[in-house]
Amino acid sequence: MTTIPITHDENHMRYSYFENGLEAYLTYERPRTGLRHITHTIVPGELGGRGLGKNLVTRVMNDIIAAGETVSSSCWFATALIEKTPEWAALRG
C-alpha cells in the first residue's frame, strides 16, 4: 500500500487527506480515556477506488496501537476493516 500524506487534527478528532480541493477524512470521538470511537470515514466519489478509506483507518489504528488504546466504531467501513484484521479486532473496547 502506498503511503499518502494524512494529517491528524487532534483538536477536531479528524484524520484528513487533501487533493485538488477535496478532502477524504475519518472522524472519531473519545468517550473515555484510552478509547477512540470511530464515527465516520468519508471519501468523495472523485477520490474513490484508490484505497484512501483503508489508508485512513490504518493510520488511526496505528496511532491507537502506539498509544496503547482501545477502539470502537459506529462507522460501517471502519468496523468491517477492524473485524477483518485480527490485531485490530483484539483492540475493541
Digitized pLDDT (tens) for each residue of the chain, 93 residues in all: 457 899 999 999 999 999 999 999 999 999 999 999 999 999 999 999 999 999 999 999 999 999 999 999 999 999 999 999 999 999 998
In this structure, what C-alpha cell is assigned to residue 47?
Answer: 477520490
CA neighbor of 5 nearest in space, from 23, 21, 18, 22: 18
Question: How far apart are alpha carbons 64 and 31 in whole angstroms?
Answer: 14
CA neighbor of 89 nearest in space, from 72, 75, 74, 76: 72
pLDDT value of position 49: 95
Cα 21 to Cα 11, 46, 61: the distances in Å are 22, 11, 26
Question: How far apart are alpha carbons 49 and 34 in whole angstroms?
Answer: 32
What pTM was estimated for this model as a whole?
A: 0.94
Tell me how long the chain is.
93
| Structural domains in the chain, sorted by start | 7-89 (3.40.630.30)
pLDDT value of position 38: 98
